[in-house]
Amino acid sequence: DSGVTQTPKHLITATGQRVTLRCSPRSGDLSVYWYQQSLDQGLQFLIQYYNGEERAKGNILERFSAQQFPDLHSELNLSSLELGDSALYFCASSKGVGLAGNEQFFGPGTRLTVL
């Protein structure tokens, strides 16, 4: 158990819908990262928040947005869902803002299926 929690574990929805994935980081970690893992794309970095502020961005679609709240939990919002958005979404956390010397701890993931 990494100490990072993600809810829900599984999510099944239809195309065009909107969903929210939730992540709580390890106690003491200020950075939260979101990743998408699909079979053909591997582990793709989406976005990082540090202490409530966006700090790094990957190839995150405009239909996707995230935020980190004052209690440090984070939410990833996915809207206008398409079949291709079906994937495993991981949240990770770390202590610092940069990754030099900072290991990431990954949550168990949310499996999203878009029908």
Partner 1 sequence: QQPVQSPQAVILREGEDAVINCSSSKALYSVHWYRQKHGEAPVFLMILLKGGEQKGHDKISASFNEKKQQSSLYLTASQLSYSGTYFCGTAPSNTGKLIFGQGTTLQVKP
Binding site for partner 1 (CB under 8 A): 2, 31, 33, 42-45, 48, 50, 55-58, 90, 94, 97-109
Query: Nearest distance from residue 51's CB to partner 1, in Å?
Result: 12
Q: Do residues 18 and 81 lie in contact, with contact meaning Cβ atoms separated by under 8 Å?
A: yes
Residue that the structure tokens 């829900």 belong to: 8
Query: Nearest distance from residue 25's CB to partner 1, in Å?
Result: 13
CB nearer to partner 1: pick between 8 and 98: 98
Query: Nearest distance from residue 71's CB to partner 1, in Å?
Result: 20
Instruction: Give the residues across from 67 on adjacent strands.
Output: 75
CB nearer to partner 1: pick between 24 and 48: 48
Question: What residues contact residue 75 under an 8 Å CB cut-off, 6+ apart?
Answer: 20, 21, 22, 23, 66, 67, 69
